[in-house]
Amino acid sequence: MTPYLFTAALSYLSGSIPFGYLLVRLVRGEDIRQTGSGNIGATNVSRKSPTLGVLTLLLDALKGFAPVMLALQWAHREFSGSAYSLASLAAFFAIVGHIFPVWLKFHGGKGVATGLGSWIGLAPRGVLVMVLVFILMVAVFRYISLGSITAAAIFPVAARVLHDYHGTPAMLWWIAASSFLIIVKHHANIQRLLAGTETKFRAGRT
């Protein structure tokens, strides 16, 4: 098995761990997929329990961060190709694992937290711009989904403009592919935003 296939497989498996589903099942004995939006991500989990929502956010980010850092260290030690190409592949497939987890019949989350964790160690300046755009959009328009979509869309541009891709063109392509996948996963939210039926964020709501 080539380093790329090995990295893709392990990153997918890491990303596919459905922490939101597991936490709500273990702590409350409920299926988060039957609540709210039916999503297993932190936003929907927080509607059931803010504490579990924060924990889901952290764990979903960690399951993206861990395989990327492992791939980067492994590549620097033993792989003759571009370390950042391999680590970027890991980032993308961790996101794929979260969105399409084999354990839940390929129905997972939307990839935002896992994407954040996956890319923060590789493109921190681009991720910072993404986070600031997210906060600004949510503060102004009160839509979590709009903030996520806009942040994902700006990420490849920010990484390119800020030269936050280590001179590795393949990394830019993986960033763009990750952003595209996250945006596509928000297709239902986009339809509701256009129809004016998307739910707005309310501070303190559980």
Residue 70 inside a domain? The answer is yes
* Alpha-carbon distances of 157 from 61, 62, 64, 162, 195, rounded to whole Å: 22, 24, 21, 8, 28
Residue 60 inside a domain? The answer is yes
Residue 205 inside a domain? The answer is no
User: Cβ distance 193 to 146 under 8 Å?
Assistant: yes
Cα 88 from Cα 136, distance rounded (Å) = 27
Cα 204 from Cα 53, distance rounded (Å) = 13
User: pLDDT tens digit string along 140-191?
Assistant: 999 999 999 999 999 999 999 999 999 999 999 999 999 999 999 999 999 9
Work out how many domains the chain is built from and give that number: 1
Cα 85 from Cα 68, distance rounded (Å) = 11
Q: What is the pLDDT of residue 205?
A: 47
Cα 34 from Cα 159, distance rounded (Å) = 37
Residue 41 inside a domain? The answer is yes
Cα 108 from Cα 159, distance rounded (Å) = 27
Q: What is the DSSP letter of 79?
A: -
Q: What is the pLDDT of residue 201?
A: 84
Which parts of the chain fold into alpha helices (H)?
3-15, 19-28, 42-48, 50-78, 83-99, 112-120, 124-141, 144-161, 169-185, 187-195
Residue 202 inside a domain? The answer is no
Residue 200 inside a domain? The answer is no
Could you report the average pLDDT of every consecutive run of 10 residues in the chain (206 residues)? 90 98 96 92 93 97 98 84 91 98 96 97 98 97 96 98 95 98 97 95 60
Domain residues for 127?
Answer: 3-195
Cα 103 from Cα 126, distance rounded (Å) = 31
Residue 204 inside a domain? The answer is no
Residue 201 inside a domain? The answer is no
